Chains A and B, each alone.
Chain A
């Protein structure tokens, strides 16, 4: 027997549609904007974190992205979804930040959750067929982040959005203000590069 879904009052911010929340937030309603932040904070934070490999930077950039979005709300025309528009702000902010700190990259990695050790894909990877079995997940996490940081910002962003976040090619093209062909070619090139950087963990023994 499943638990009953909690009843959400449509008149409260939690029960409102995204478009209504945006309208209210544009009028300066902080409660409405708080709800929008809550809806997207995890995805925005995760994208920035995977780009920077640094929790403190991700925290600052995520907060600044939401603040900038609130400031720019009057200019939001509704041509795209709020979610795509917000992502675009976060993507631009992150890429600009990374260009500025190019020569002083410092990793501050988050811990792996409990489910990592039970993920079937990861378990399949850490099998007796690959050299990955030789290393622990934490070391693998370190190597993976180092490899990602070697990619250029646009290539890293495409891999993070598509292969880690599961965003579609179309949405990535809209978020990064480029065409879908560019997204596909960047993804292919980035994967090829990553494959080279992580050859000893990927290629069969």
Chain B
């Protein structure tokens, strides 16, 4: 290990040679002027869309760079995208992949109030023992019904039977 360190020490001494490499004399006297004149000529006004992408999403810039430097990658990427699309279409068209109807699933587990109960003259019967109100709204129909005082079902007096018989016989 010590031998290795000594070798690294020699290597670092050798690398110091790089510090003595200098550009042509006077090079830095005009460097900043060149940069500023390029900026003033309009190069610095706005970033291109590609550069904005590179700043905001480096991973996307990296991907674009990869496509540029290795053309084979873009072919593979496009192929995998097409395969994923085809798989998606096949899965979506399979009949057994359709989701079950939520109302059907509810009917399997709990008895739905019959239509007769709704059309019955005795509307108090709408409030079933199961606590489910038949409604066209699938959300409210699943809400347990409680009365104002927390008594589920039963005739509490808040519900009154409607009568369709004429009040008077006309006599």
Contact = CB atoms under 8 A, between A and B. Distances in A.
Interface of A: 30, 33-34, 37-38, 41-42, 45, 49-50, 55, 58-59, 62-63, 66-68, 70-72, 75, 96, 99-100, 109-113, 115-116, 119, 121-122, 124-125, 130, 132, 137, 140-141, 144, 159-160, 163-164, 191, 194-195, 198, 201-203
Interface residues on B, range: 35 or more
Contact of A144 (B15, B31, B51): B15
Nearest to B46: A71
B44 A191 contact: no
B18 A75 contact: no
Nearest to A31: B36
Interface stretch (B19-27, B99-107, B134-142): B19-27
B69 interface: yes
Contact of B39 (A30, A55, A163, A194): A30
A200 to B, nearest CB: 12
B21 A75 contact: no
Given A41-B32, A113-B22, A203-B7, A121 B69 contact: no
Interface of B: 7-8, 10-24, 28, 31-36, 38-40, 43-47, 51, 55, 65, 68-69
B95 to A, nearest CB: 50
Nearest to A140: B17
A38 B32 contact: yes
A50 B69 CA distance: 23
Contacts of B33: 34
The CB with the most chain A CB atoms within 10 A, among B8, B10, B18, B24, is that of: B18
B71 to A, nearest CB: 13
B51 A68 contact: yes
B15 A63 contact: no
A161 to B, nearest CB: 12
Contacts of B16: 119, 121-122, 164
Contacts of B28: 41-42, 45
A170 to B, nearest CB: 19
Contacts of A130: 10
B10 A202 contact: yes
Given A111-B21, A113-B22, A195-B7, A124 B36 contact: no
A41 B20 contact: no
A141 B17 contact: yes
A100 B36 CA distance: 27
Residue among A75, A119, A202 with max Cβ neighbours from chain B (10 Å): A202
B11 A194 contact: yes
Contact of A116 (B17, B32, B36): B17
B57 to A, nearest CB: 12
A67 B39 contact: yes
Nearest to A124: B13
